[in-house]
Amino acid sequence: MKARALVIEDEAVNALAVEHALSSFGCDVVGVASSGEEALDFAERERPELVVCDITLRGRMSGVECACHLLERGALALVFLTAHTSGHQTAEVARLHPGVPVVMKPFSIPGLQAAIENALSHPAGA
């Protein structure tokens, strides 16, 4: 799968694992951001086709809020990551972004790959 990808993850180990997985799938990782603000800057410059975003980020902007801003700029393949099966932000994802794949951390490579293939086939905001 070929896609320009942006990773939004504030845990360095998880970000590196996602970046490595995306590269192994044939994606061109154009950036790794640890905050929503940084992600928006990367997206403006690099125009990713795929975004893998942690639901919970440190800082003022959650991953869910960041994804909303990214989708305002146009459709893109979106996959959320989370370590929480329940909670406010996970419920917010289901409400605001129905059909967007959510991958549990720690993730499996086949599970992440399937979610990305699904996202690329059905871009959010389209």
DSSP calls for 7-75: EE-SSHHHHHHHHHHHHHTT-EEEEEESSHHHHHHHHHHH--SEEEEES--SSSS-HHHHHHHHHHT--
CATH number assigned to the domain covering 4-121 = 3.40.50.2300
Lowest mean pLDDT among 34-38, 68-72, 80-84, 109-113: 80-84
* Confidence at residue 33, expressed as pLDDT on a 0 to 100 scale: 98
Contact (Cβ atoms closer than 8 angstroms) between residue 48 and residue 4: yes
- Angle, to 10 degrees, between the axis of helix 88-96 and the axis of helix 63-72? 20
Nearest to 37 by CA among 19, 12, 57, 22: 57
Task: Compute the average pLDDT of residues 83-110.
Answer: 83
User: How far is the C-alpha of 53 from the C-alpha of 55, rounded, in Å?
Assistant: 6
Q: At residue 121, what is the residue type? A: S
pTM given for the model? 0.94
pLDDT band for position 66 (cuts 50, 70, 90) = very high
* Confidence at residue 45, expressed as pLDDT on a 0 to 100 scale: 96
